Amino acid sequence: MGESATIDGNAGIREPKAAPAYLAGLNPAQRHAVEYGGAGEHGSGVFDPPLLIIAGAGSGKTNTLAHRVAHLIVSGADPRRMMLLTFSRRAATEMQRRVERITAKVLGPAAGAMTDALAWSGTFHAIGARLLREYATDLGIDVDFTIHDREDSADLMNLVRHDLGFSKTVKRFPTKHTCLSIYSRAVNATSPLGEVLGTFFPWCAEWESELQSLFAAYVATKQKQNVLDYDDLLLYWAHMMMEPALAGQLSDRFDHVMVDEYQDTNRLQSSILLNFKPTGQGLTVVGDDAQSIYSFRAATVRNILDFPAHFSPPAALITLEQNYRSTQPILAAANAVIDLASERFTKNLWSNRASGDLPALVSVADDNAQAGYVADCVLANREAGLRLKAQAVLFRTSSHSATLEVELTRRNIPFVKFGGLKFLESAHIKDLLALLRWSQNLRDRVAGFRVAQLLPGFGPGMAAKLLDAIEGGARPIRGLNAFRPPTAAAEHWIDFCATIKALHLGKAGWPADLDLASRWYVPLMQHRFDDAPQREGDIAQLAQIASSYPTRERFLTELTLDPPDATSDQAGPPLLDEDYLILSTIHSAKGQEWDSVFVLNAVDGCIPSDLGVGTTAEIDEERRLLYVAMTRAKDQLHLMLPQRFYVHGQRSMGDRHIYAQRTRFIPNALTHHFQSRSWPAAQANASLRRPISPLDVRGKLRGMWG
Q: Please, what's the b/e burial string for 296-305 (b: 16 or more CB within 10 A of its CB; e: otherwise)?
A: ebbbbbebbb
- Numbered residues of the known binding site for ATP: 55-62
Query: Can you tell me the distance from the alpha carbon of 536 to that of 43, in angstroms, rounded to the nearest whole number?
Result: 50
154: closest CA among 210, 231, 234?
A: 231
Residue 212 burial (CB count, 10 A): 12
Q: Of the two residues 61 and 347, which places its CB atom closer to ligand ATP in the complex?
A: 61
Q: Of the two residues 78 and 321, which places its CB atom closer to ligand ATP in the complex?
A: 321
The closest residue (CB) to ligand ATP is 60
Question: Where do the DSSP E strands lie in 210-281?
Answer: 227-229, 256-259
Q: How far is the CB of 320 from ligand ATP (least distance, A)?
A: 7
Q: How far is the CB of 57 from ligand ATP (least distance, A)?
A: 4
400: closest CA among 87, 629, 613, 571?
A: 629
Q: Of the two residues 321 and 405, which places its CB atom closer to ligand ATP in the complex?
A: 321
List contacts with ligand ATP (CB under 6 A). 25-27, 30, 55, 57-63, 288, 291, 324-325, 591, 593, 631
Query: Can you tell me the distance from the alpha carbon of 68 to that of 90, in angstroms, rounded to the nearest whole number?
Result: 19
Q: How far is the CB of 29 from ligand ATP (least distance, A)?
A: 9
Task: Evaluate the CA torsion angle 37, 42, 45, 49 in order and state its sign.
Answer: negative
Q: Of the two residues 428 and 587, which places its CB atom closer to ligand ATP in the complex?
A: 587
- Numbered residues of the known binding site: 55-62
Cα 395–399–404 angle (5° rounding)? 70
Query: Can you tell me the distance from the alpha carbon of 439 to that of 429, in angstroms, rounded to the nearest whole number?
Result: 16
Q: How far is the CB of 30 from ligand ATP (least distance, A)?
A: 6
Long-range contacts of 18-26 (CB under 8 A, 24+ apart): 20/106, 21/105, 21/106, 22/67, 22/70, 22/71, 22/74, 22/102, 22/103, 22/105, 22/106, 23/67, 23/71, 26/60, 26/63, 26/64, 26/67
Alpha carbon separation from 686 to 212, 375, 643 (Å, rounded): 56, 18, 11
Q: Of the two residues 58 and 563, which places its CB atom closer to ligand ATP in the complex?
A: 58
Query: Can you tell me the distance from the alpha carbon of 273 to that of 283, in angstroms, rounded to the nearest whole number?
Result: 9
Using left for φ > 0, alpha for ψ between -120 and 50, and beta otherwise, residue 36 falls in beta
Q: How remote is the C-alpha of 684 from its chain's centroid?
A: 37
Q: Of the two residues 288 and 444, which places its CB atom closer to ligand ATP in the complex?
A: 288
Alpha carbon separation from 179 to 132, 187, 197 (Å, rounded): 26, 12, 11
Grouping H, G, I as helix, E, B as strand and the rest as coil, residue 260 is: coil
Q: Of the two residues 50 and 591, which places its CB atom closer to ligand ATP in the complex?
A: 591
Q: Please, what's the b/e burial string for 28-42 (b: 16 or more CB within 10 A of its CB; e: otherwise)?
A: ebbbbbbbbbebbeb
Q: Which helix (H) or strand (E) holds 18?
A: none
Q: How far is the CB of 597 from ligand ATP (least distance, A)?
A: 12
Q: How far is the CB of 259 from ligand ATP (least distance, A)?
A: 14
Q: How far is the CB of 436 from ligand ATP (least distance, A)?
A: 34
Query: Can you tell me the distance from the alpha carbon of 123 to that of 228, in angstroms, rounded to the nearest whole number?
Result: 16
Q: Of the two residues 450 and 590, which places its CB atom closer to ligand ATP in the complex?
A: 590
236: closest CA among 218, 253, 223, 217?
A: 223
Q: How far is the CB of 58 from ligand ATP (least distance, A)?
A: 4
Q: How far is the CB of 10 from ligand ATP (least distance, A)?
A: 16
Q: How far is the CB of 93 from ligand ATP (least distance, A)?
A: 15
